[in-house]
């Protein structure tokens, strides 16, 4: 546990460095003092913040490529290559309102509609259901109702977004700046340099130096517990205002005192711990001395060491200008290599942006490639473009919802409907799955045959499920069952419903050596073969995002 805390602290420090040194500049004195002075006077307002209060804009998302065996196994995704989504939106966060018209080209069809956010309500024009039916042909409305003009969802989580720092117009918490100052003070002076030719400050932290910095910050926190507790508790309150600050401070100080008694690890010990997880090959920050100069962040990290899974992460960010007239480029590359399953993952996010006080534009590209010995599992290429402008006169006319023109989603979706996915593919049932006594029940034949099993009925009450070297025997209305002859117990016994034998899905899945996950928020069951877990996790993410 102690080692995990130190490693977490290292990752947090890396994030903090990335935030401050890629955007800061300085003016006088030594390199370190230049940066400290700049931090002391830093503007804590969010860049382009007024546009997150009242604005209008457009966004487009085009899927240039989507293929691979993971995609071919998920029917709704097969036609997505070439799909393009255009959004035209208006935002007034003080009124807690957003309006967005959409135009989606998918397959051979074009779908148009409109959506609204009104405080804690998501309101959709009923056009959305023609799109859903195209994506999932099994989708149908209970009773085949005639749809009203609008359908809506009420959710407190929707309403909570308006309280975020971004949309509420609040400044970045002062404690964020205070923490960066605290960290900068702890960094040894010799790691800072200035370049009069390039007019910038440079902080260069290769692997050994980073371990020194982490050790210095930990020691500083122990030496100044009250100051650190004030900063840390303030950051917690910024995220969760319901917390008791004095209690937080007491707990933090107590933790620092315990750390002091047990001993702060040395730079060498931290270096040794880091080597087990990551190797920082390059970590350099360049901050301009000029008000509108160039700044840059360069990072290269490898991980895995001697483990079966290795990889690397590189990040490059270059910016020029001030907060109200800032432009730049970025590129994040990730590679992962699994020597056991022979899986190679390569991902990249890159783009360019320009911020002014009244307008923001950006272009981004997301690509991913997943391969194993059999070929390509996933190939993805997504292009994103956006343009947002400050629009103080924006008007959003959210429709007035009435009993005749609207309906809640809960009012017409089939009651108790559950979705089941096996290795990323949906399972069709002739009797709908349901929950009884806390267990997910479903017809055994539908799901077992999808999992490659043979299902036999033996009079008068026995169900045999066979696959390779696994044999499961269950009995109607009996809680005892066997897996390869080993007796086990069920919470809910199998029984007959509408002429079908229904069984608890979890016990079947685990008996066949699979993982079972139920997500209550989406009423979805995910069953995954252990030898396919990595591949199907990717598929699961795709399905959920869709």
Regarding beta strands 150-154 and 406-408, do their DSSP bridges make them parallel or antiparallel, or are they unpaired? parallel
Task: Flag whether pLDDT at 42 surpasses 80.
Answer: no
419-545 falls under which CATH superfamily? Copper amine oxidase-like, N-terminal domain (3.30.457.10)
Please report the pLDDT score of residue 535 as a whole number. Answer: 42
Burial category of 299 from C-beta neighbours within 10 Å (exposed 0-12, middle 13-18, buried 19 and up): buried
Share of the chain above pLDDT 70, in %: 84
Please report the pLDDT score of residue 544 as a whole number. Answer: 46
Task: Flag whether pLDDT at 128 surpasses 90.
Answer: no
Q: Are 315 and 15 in contact (CB under 8 A)?
A: no
Residues 6+ apart with CB under 8 A from 394: 54, 55, 56, 90, 91, 92
- The pTM for the full model equals 0.67
Please report the pLDDT score of residue 542 as a whole number. Answer: 40
Please report the pLDDT score of residue 126 as a whole number. Answer: 84
The DSSP H or E segment spanning 283 is strand 278-288
Burial category of 526 from C-beta neighbours within 10 Å (exposed 0-12, middle 13-18, buried 19 and up): buried
Q: pLDDT tens digits, residue range 75-109? A: 667 778 899 999 999 999 889 999 999 999 987 88
Please report the pLDDT score of residue 416 as a whole number. Answer: 53
Q: Are 492 and 441 in contact (CB under 8 A)?
A: yes
The residue ranges of every structural domain in the chain are 2-48+169-373, 54-164+393-412, 419-545
Residue 372 to residue 362: CA distance in whole angstroms: 34
Please report the pLDDT score of residue 519 as a whole number. Answer: 77
Could you tell me the two tokens for 519? Answer: 């997500």
Could you tell me the two tokens for 341? Answer: 């399953």
Q: pLDDT tens digits, residue range 446-489? A: 888 888 899 999 999 999 999 888 899 999 999 999 999 999 99
Could you tell me the two tokens for 44? Answer: 């804590």
Task: Flag whether pLDDT at 436 surpasses 70.
Answer: yes
Q: Are 65 and 383 in contact (CB under 8 A)?
A: no
Task: Flag whether pLDDT at 415 surpasses 70.
Answer: no
SS (H, E, C) 239-265: HCCCCCHHHHHHHHHHHHHHHHHHCCC
Residue 309 to residue 22: CA distance in whole angstroms: 30
Please report the pLDDT score of residue 72 as a whole number. Answer: 80
Q: Are 224 and 216 in contact (CB under 8 A)?
A: no
User: Which of 147-161, 217-231, 282-296 has the weakest average pLDDT?
Assistant: 147-161
Stretch 154-182: mean pLDDT? 76
Measured between alpha carbons, how far is residue 366 from residues 28, 71, 333 in Å? 40, 17, 10
Query: Which of 12, 10, 41 lies closest to 24, judged by CA?
Result: 41
């Amino acid at each position: 546990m102690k080692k995990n805390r130190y490693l977490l602290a290292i990752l947090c420090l890396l994030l903090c460095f990335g935030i401050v040194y890629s955007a800061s500049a300085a003016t006088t004195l030594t390199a370190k003092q230049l940066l400290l002075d700049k931090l002391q006077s830093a503007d804590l307002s969010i860049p382009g913040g007024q546009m997150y209060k009242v604005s209008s804009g457009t966004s487009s998302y085009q899927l240039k490529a989507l293929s691979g065996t993971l995609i071919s196994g998920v029917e709704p995704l097969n036609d997505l290559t070439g799909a393009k989504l255009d959004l035209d939106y208006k935002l007034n966060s003080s009124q807690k309102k957003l309006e967005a018209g959409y135009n989606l080209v998918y397959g051979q069809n074009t779908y148009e509609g409109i959506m609204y956010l009104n405080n804690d309500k998501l309101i959709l024009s009923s056009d959305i259901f023609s799109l859903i039916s195209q994506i999932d042909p099994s989708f149908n409305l209970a009773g085949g109702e005639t749809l009203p003009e609008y359908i809506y969802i009420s959710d407190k989580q929707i309403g909570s977004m308006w309280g975020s720092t971004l949309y509420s117009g609040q400044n970045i918490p002062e404690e964020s700046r205070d923490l960066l100052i605290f960290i900068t003070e702890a960094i040894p002076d010799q790691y800072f340099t200035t370049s009069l030719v390039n007019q910038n400050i440079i902080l260069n932290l290769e692997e050994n130096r980073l371990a020194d910095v982490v050790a210095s910050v930990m020691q500083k926190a122990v030496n100044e517990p009250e100051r650190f507790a004030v900063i840390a508790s303030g950051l917690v309150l910024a995220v969760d205002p319901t917390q008791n600050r004095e209690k937080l401070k007491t707990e933090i100080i107590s933790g620092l005192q315990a750390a002091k008694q047990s001993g702060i690890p040395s730079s060498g010990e931290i270096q040794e711990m880091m080597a087990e997880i990551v190797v920082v090959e390059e970590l350099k920050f360049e901050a301009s001395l000029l008000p509108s100069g160039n700044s840059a962040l360069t990072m290269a990290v490898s991980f895995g060491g001697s483990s079966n899974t290795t990889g690397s992460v590189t990040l490059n960010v270059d910016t020029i200008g001030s907060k109200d007239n800032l432009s730049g480029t970025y590129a994040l590359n990730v590679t992962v290599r699994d020597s056991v399953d022979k899986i190679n993952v390569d991902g990249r996010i890159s783009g360019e942006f320009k911020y002014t006080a009244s307008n923001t534009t950006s272009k981004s590209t997301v690509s991913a490639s997943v391969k194993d010995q059999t070929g390509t599992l996933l190939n993805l290429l997504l292009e994103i473009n956006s343009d947002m402008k400050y629009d103080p006169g924006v008007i959003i006319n959210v429709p007035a919802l009435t009993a005749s023109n609207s309906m809640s989603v809960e009012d017409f979706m089939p009651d108790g409907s559950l979705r089941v996915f096996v290795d990323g593919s949906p399972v069709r049932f002739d009797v709908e799955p349901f929950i009884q006594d806390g267990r997910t029940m479903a017809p055994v034949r539908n799901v077992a045959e999808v999992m490659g099993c043979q299902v036999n009925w033996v009079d008068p009450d026995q169900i045999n499920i066979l696959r390779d070297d696994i044999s499961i025997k269950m009995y109607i209305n009996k809680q005892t069952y066997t897996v390869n002859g080993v007796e086990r117990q069920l919470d809910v016994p199998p029984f007959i419903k509408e002429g079908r034998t229904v069984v608890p899905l979890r016990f079947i899945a685990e008996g066949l050596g699979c993982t079972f996950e139920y997500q209550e928020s989406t009423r979805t069951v995910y069953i995954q073969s252990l030898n396919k877990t990595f591949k199907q996790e990717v598929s699961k993410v795709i399905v959920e995002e869709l």
